Amino acid sequence: MQRKQILVLVVIAMLTPYLAAKATEKVLYRFTGGADGGSPSSSLVMDVAGNLYGTTGAGGDLTQCSGGGCGTVFELQPSGNGKSQEKVLYAFQGGSDGSFPDGNLVFDAGGNLYGTTSDGGTSTNCSTEGCGTVFELSPNSNGTWTKTVLYNFQNEPDGAFPAGLILDATGSLFGTTPRGGSNGGTVYKLSPPKQHGGAWAEKVLYAFTCFGATPNPSLVVDEEGNLYGSYYNLDDQFCSGEGCGVVFQLKQANGTWTETDLYDFVGGGNGGQPAGGVIRDSKGNLYGTGAEGGNNFGILFELRRSGTQWKESMPYNFCSRNNCADGSFPLAGLVMDGSGALYGTTYWGGAGCTYCGVVFKLSRTSNGWEETVLHSFRGGKYDGVGPSDSLILDGQGDLYGVAGSTYGDGAGIVFELTP
């Protein structure tokens, strides 16, 4: 065999795993910014029937919020033609009703949905727009949904501008606010009423004292009820002064919550500004992304316990390929499959266009971690751009997420990636 043929075969062998790992993208729905909503503003949640639910930060009732709509909660049902049928479950009205939903939704065992609005509510402590709400949507037998505001934030001392929730086994809700603590944000708990029709009780578990500390909405809870999360420094974008962000634990003992910094990012080659929260594997290791550091375009980090300390490693530095074809500036959290592979998005980079972003997979191999770009967004009227919310993974290994759109080409998309 000639040397040229051997080299070609070697190159093909090297590329085959990468090419085989590519995923097929399908745009399930493209928002118009009208009554159907616009600018999807959260990661998705899926019910047992395979329907998807999420929020938009604009659109809905265009008579409200200065004509742009105050946002929606939507459902996508598979239509059988490769697309999905969208249904608006609720269009926010602003004011005491809440406006601009932000962060993920969660289901309880009864099929009720819970979420947050970053603005609105009854408080006047955050200008005229309100400080945000926690809401519940309950399904009715006729296919409609009833919305109830469970809590109105007041800014001090409970926090302001909530985004996203988690639900524990007792039916309590946990979340964060980026503002409202002593100098930074808060972590709070909402406990359901003991009697039907009663009020939910809010408790601030921790108020961050670091100036500008902005906790991410993506909290995780362990088997003992301890919480893990991260914060970045909104008012210190160049990682000086107060640092470059923290991964923290909140531990409960006798009704009191104690905060511990598990790892303090220092920026530079070690990465910083963990803007997407953390996830936890079965061994208790933590994984997340940092929007800064590494090659100056963000990192993916792993934290492992070593005695009483936690050690950071960086499985991947983004923009390690020419023209950042592997992605840059990861802003969203991660999701892990049963094999331990990690999936996420970057806001910029990719082969589609410089500012379009990617969906990536990070797999552990005998030689370390290996990144594969599953999809490079292209923008324009046929694809999305700038994904900044976490993906979800179904039982077949399909990924679902939301992305924005370039100007004049719609108001955001919901997409599916099939391996």
Q: Does domain 28-209 have CATH number 2.120.10.30?
A: yes
The dihedral over CA atoms of 163, 232, 324, 346, expressed in degrees to the nearest 10, equals -20
E runs forming strands in 308-395: 309-317, 335-336, 342-346, 358-365, 368-376, 392-393
Three-point CA angle 386, 391, 393, nearest 5°: 150
Residuewise pLDDT in 10s, the chain (419 residues):
433 333 333 333 333 333 335 789 999 999 999 999 999 988 999 999 999 999 999 999 999 999 999 999 999 998 877 678 999 999 999 999 999 999 999 999 999 999 999 999 999 888 768 899 999 999 999 999 999 999 999 988 899 999 999 999 899 999 999 987 667 899 999 999 988 878 999 999 999 887 778 888 889 999 889 999 999 876 555 555 457 889 999 998 888 899 999 999 988 888 889 989 999 999 999 999 999 888 889 999 999 998 888 999 999 999 998 889 999 999 999 999 999 999 999 999 998 788 899 999 999 888 889 999 999 999 888 899 999 999 999 999 999 999 998 766 679 999 999 98
The dihedral over CA atoms of 253, 283, 232, 128, expressed in degrees to the nearest 10, equals -60
pLDDT for residue 296: 85
The dihedral over CA atoms of 295, 300, 304, 309, expressed in degrees to the nearest 10, equals 50
pLDDT in tens, 51-105: 999 999 999 999 999 999 999 999 999 887 767 899 999 999 999 999 999 999 9
Q: Where are the domains of the chain?
A: 28-209
